[in-house]
Amino acid sequence: MNKIKNIINSIKFRFTLWYLLVLSILMIMLASGVYVTLSQVLHHNLDESLRRRAEQISNFRDVISIVASGTFEEEVEELISFYFYSEKNLRQISHKEIEIPVAQEIIDLAISGISSFSTIERSPGGKFRLYAVCYTPDNPFIRPDRFRRSQDFQEKLEIRRAALIVARPVRDIEATLKGLLQILLIAIPLTLVCAGGGGVFLAGRAFKPVEQITDTAREIEEHDLSRRITVETKDELGRLADTLNQMIERLEKAFNRQKQFTSDASHELRAPLAIIQAESTLALQKVRTPEAYQRSLEIISQESDHMSGVINQLLTLARADAGKEQFTFETIHLQTFIRDMYADVEILCREKNLQLEASLPDPLTVKGDKKSLKRLIYNILSNAIRYTAPGGSILITLGREDATAVVSVSDTGIGIPSNELPFIFERFYRVDEARSRSEGGSGLGLAMCQYIVDMHGGLIEVESQTQKGSTFHIKLPLVTDR
Ligand code: ADP
């Protein structure tokens, strides 16, 4: 039952059904067109031949006498009659002594000069097409001795106007049309059966790749995302398969990133938690000196600070991913903005014996969210401090490049190997994990910076040489005066 339902609901079935329906309508229209046109042409030709014959008969000299004497040259199955009024009675002369069942109205019309065609039923003989036209003899007086066959006309007749009736059977036309109808009645269903079979076959072939795509897609959903759809053709279905493959690839990458992210995040939180547990267990094992407790508590506080930092950054990134991070854009004068941060950073540099310099010549203005821009510049500066050995120096510059303001932070620190550069903006990516952790880093700082820069329509770039130093460029669109 379900199988039947599936077939009825399939595109292939609907396609074939529509195809057959359209084809049947077209074929019926075509057949009716052929039938009607042929019938019209045949009837028209018959009418024309009747008209020409009537004209021919009218031109014979004394044709009524010839017809009456029975010597009229006849054509096969042709019926000819003259109707006229004599002594107020309607009389008939026909060359085969056959009465044609024609309505008096038609005869009267013909005598009065109005010619007409009509179809009559005769038995035997079937249907006849007849033409009634007015006939005016050259010599109105017909001599009775010329009337051989009719006993009625003994006296001399005067015929001023008569109705000439010419009739021919429509049997041939009917036979031709019947033959055509029989051919059509056999040909249409036969063509529909052949076309239907062809349609089912073609639809089956056309939809085979679709079924292939569906099967593979179902398997991919059930098993793993590393599988791809194989459709060799270069047509629309080939392109569909390519697009689906690209989508699956993106999904695979996203799932892998997600997996990596979860494992990195738990790893990042497990390490400080393990330290806190170990330190507290150790401290509680036996009574210790106040200095030892002090040290244990310092380590616990340091690790919980680290954990809280990681959790805060994770929360911010999660909010960013969900599009829930709020930004309030306002005009920011970068010169004053950086200058205000300078004092705090200088204290940190002094603590680590680093020299801090700033070159902020241009008063440049951007539109930005103060809190997040501060976080962005502060992250870059803390990395510079974190990864530069004591005695080194850090330089902040502010410059302009076309329509962008460029904040650059250079340090003389350990630098980043060029093969690592493409990855440093990824979440939890660290060039030297041990070093980063010991310096208090979480591997989330630059990912956050990238997100903030993106939200400001800017760019973040890095140039670095190992053991020489690194320069981070933050490029933000300038506010243009209009
Ligand atoms: P972390 O919290 O570990 O510093 P980030 O995302 O801020 O994480 O940085 C990612 C990695 O990039 C760092 O682990 C570090 O290896 C490298 N890095 C960032 N800034 C610098 C820099 N100024 N000098 C050298 N390496 C850096």
CATH number for position 468: 3.30.565.10
Does any domain span residue 240?
Answer: yes
Average pLDDT over residues 438-460: 89
Per-residue model confidence (pLDDT) at position 159: 83
349 and 306 in a common domain: no
Around 271, how many Cα atoms within 13 Å sit in the side-chain half-sphere?
17
180 and 44 in a common domain: yes
Domain limit, last residue, from 296, 321, 346: 321
Average pLDDT over residues 4-21: 75
Q: What percent of the chain has pLDDT over 70?
A: 94
Q: Each residue of 208-256: pLDDT tens digit?
A: 888 888 888 788 765 678 888 887 777 888 888 888 889 888 888 888 8
Average pLDDT over residues 16-35: 89
The residues that bridge with 465 in the sheet, in sequence order, are: 469
Distance CA 44, CA 239 (A): 58
Per-residue model confidence (pLDDT) at position 379: 94
pLDDT above 60 for 395 = yes
CA of 322 to the centre of ligand 1 (A): 25
Per-residue model confidence (pLDDT) at position 87: 77
180 and 37 in a common domain: yes
Distance CA 473, CA 460 (A): 6
For residue 22, the enclosing domain spans 2-48+175-216
336 and 317 in a common domain: no
Residue 98 CB partners (closer than 8 Å, separation 6+)? 79, 81
Which of 345, 356, 416 most suits a substitution to test ligand 1, by most atoms within 8 Å of the C-beta?
A: 416
Range picked from 255-269, 409-423, 434-448 for highest mean pLDDT: 409-423
Domain limit, last residue, from 136, 151, 169: 169
Distance CA 314, CA 312 (A): 5
Does any domain span residue 375?
Answer: yes
Which of 383, 432, 442, 462 most suits a substitution to test ligand 1, by most atoms within 8 Å of the C-beta?
A: 383
Distance CA 239, CA 167 (A): 71
Average pLDDT over residues 177-185: 93
Per-residue model confidence (pLDDT) at position 371: 92
182 and 159 in a common domain: no
445 and 339 in a common domain: yes
Does any domain span residue 41?
Answer: yes
196 and 133 in a common domain: no
**Average pLDDT of the residues of the chain:** 87
Per-residue model confidence (pLDDT) at position 9: 65
Per-residue model confidence (pLDDT) at position 401: 93
Per-residue model confidence (pLDDT) at position 299: 92
Residue 300 CB partners (closer than 8 Å, separation 6+)? 275, 276, 279, 280
Does any domain span residue 137?
Answer: yes
Exposure class string for 276-300: b at 16+ Cβ within 10 A, else e: beebeeebeeeeeeeeeeeebeebb
Indicate the residue type of 106: I
Structural domains counted in the chain: 4
Indicate the residue type of 102: V
Residues with CB under 6 A from ligand 1: 383-384, 387, 411, 413-416, 424, 429-432, 436, 441-447, 470
Residues in the chain, how many? 482
Per-residue model confidence (pLDDT) at position 146: 55
Residue 414 CB partners (closer than 8 Å, separation 6+)? 387, 388, 389, 466, 467
Q: Which of 471, 271, 473, 475 is nearest to 387 (CA)?
A: 471
CA of 337 to the centre of ligand 1 (A): 24
Does any domain span residue 115?
Answer: yes
473 and 440 in a common domain: yes
Does any domain span residue 227?
Answer: no
Q: Whose CA is nearest to atom 7 of ligand 1?
A: 445
CB 62 within 8 A of CB 34: no
Q: Each residue of 322-358: pLDDT tens digit?
A: 888 888 999 999 999 999 999 889 999 999 999 999 9
- How many angstroms separate the Cα of 278 from the Cα of each of 98, 129, 270, 291, 300? 132, 119, 12, 18, 10
Per-residue model confidence (pLDDT) at position 328: 93
> What is the token pair recorded at 194?
């052949």
Residue whose entry in the numeric block shows the structure tokens 């006296």: 155
**What CATH number does the domain containing 315 carry?**
1.10.287.130
Domain limit, last residue, from 265, 295, 321: 321
Residue 161 CB partners (closer than 8 Å, separation 6+)? 84, 111, 134, 135, 136
Distance CA 478, CA 332 (A): 10
Name the residue with higher pLDDT: 77 or 278.
278
Q: Whose CA is nearest to atom 19 of ligand 1?
A: 383
Does any domain span residue 269?
Answer: yes
Distance CA 348, CA 378 (A): 11
Per-residue model confidence (pLDDT) at position 92: 86
What phi and psi values does residue 100 have, to the nearest 5 degrees?
Answer: -95, 125
> What is the token pair recorded at 142?
């017909």
Q: For residue 124, say if its preceding peptide bond is cis, omega within 30 degrees of 0.
A: yes
Distance CA 199, CA 194 (A): 8
402 and 370 in a common domain: yes
CA of 360 to the centre of ligand 1 (A): 25
CB 47 within 8 A of CB 130: no
- How many angstroms separate the Cα of 133 from the Cα of each of 162, 165, 167, 266? 8, 7, 12, 110
Average pLDDT over residues 86-101: 82
> What is the token pair recorded at 101?
């069942």
Which of 381, 388, 429, 436 most suits a substitution to test ligand 1, by most atoms within 8 Å of the C-beta?
A: 436
Distance CA 410, CA 16 (A): 70
Pseudo-torsion of CA 96, 101, 105, 110, nearest 10°? -30
Does any domain span residue 291?
Answer: yes
Q: Whose CA is nearest to atom 8 of ligand 1?
A: 443
Q: What percent of the chain has pLDDT over 90?
A: 47
Residue 344 CB partners (closer than 8 Å, separation 6+)? none
DSSP, res 159? -
Distance CA 426, CA 92 (A): 114
251 and 138 in a common domain: no
Q: Give the chain's end-to-end CA distance (angstroms, integer).
A: 71
Q: Each residue of 137-164: pLDDT tens digit?
A: 887 777 655 555 555 555 667 788 999 9
Q: What are the counts of helices (DSSP H) followed by strands (DSSP E) for the chain?
A: 11, 14
181 and 165 in a common domain: no
Strand (E) or helix (H) holding 150: none
246 and 197 in a common domain: no
- By the 10 Å C-beta count (0-12 exposed, 13-18 middle, 19+ buried), 380 is classed as buried
Q: Whose CA is nearest to atom 21 of ligand 1?
A: 383
